[in-house]
Amino acid sequence: MLLLSTAIVAWAEIYKWKDSKGNIIFSDSPPAGSNAEKQIIREQRIERPAVQEEAPRSKGTATVKKRAYGDIRVIMYMTSWCPYCKQAKDYINSLGVRLTEYDIEKDKDKDAEMLRKSGGGKGVPLIDIEGSIIRGYSPSDIKAVIEEKRNL
């Protein structure tokens, strides 16, 4: 059980530089002879035990009604340049839940709010599903938490 609740941390090296037109570029490999700055991005995933299916109910048992996906509220703290943020956004939207996005580079109040929710972690995306926090992009974690919220 202890192994199932441990967090897995992955590190990614991203380089940032300006091209000849002054555009800021992010990539996992810098061009030769550039003055690229190394950016270290920490991605954290939380491993959760598999969700157990309920046994089918007999005809005489009352059926529990689940909340609609559209009633689930999701907040995602992200940046415009983060590829994981885009993947998370697309996946969350595919589930039909109500997604609110905050770009932490454009809104410093939301950056501070994200830092409080993450316990000081600065990695994006940070996903808040009605109080359940997921760091990084993990479709299985997102789906599990949304299904948990539907059953409340």
What mean pLDDT, rounded, does the chain reach? 80
73-84 per-position pLDDT tens digit:
999 999 999 999
9-55 per-position pLDDT tens digit:
445 566 676 777 777 666 667 777 777 777 655 555 555 555 555 55
Indicate if 36 and 73 belong to the same structural domain. Answer: no
The residue segments making up the domain with residue 89 are: 69-150
Indicate if 33 and 93 belong to the same structural domain. Answer: no
CATH code of the domain covering residue 118 = 3.40.30.10
Cα–Cα dist 31/18, whole Å:
11
Q: Structurally, how many domains does the chain consist of?
A: 2
The answer to the question of residue 62 being in a domain is no
Indicate if 13 and 80 belong to the same structural domain. Answer: no
The answer to the question of residue 126 being in a domain is yes
The answer to the question of residue 61 being in a domain is no
**pTM given for the model:** 0.60
Indicate if 81 and 26 belong to the same structural domain. Answer: no
* pLDDT reading at 1 higher than 50: no
Indicate if 91 and 139 belong to the same structural domain. Answer: yes
DSSP per position, 80-135: TT-HHHHHHHHHHHHHT-EEEEEETTT-HHHHHHHHHHHTS---S-EEEETTEEEE
* pLDDT reading at 149 higher than 80: yes
Indicate if 100 and 139 belong to the same structural domain. Answer: yes
pLDDT the model gives residue 15: 67
pLDDT the model gives residue 22: 72
Indicate if 42 and 84 belong to the same structural domain. Answer: no
Compare 13 and 3 and report the one with higher pLDDT. 13
96-113 per-position pLDDT tens digit:
999 999 999 999 999 999
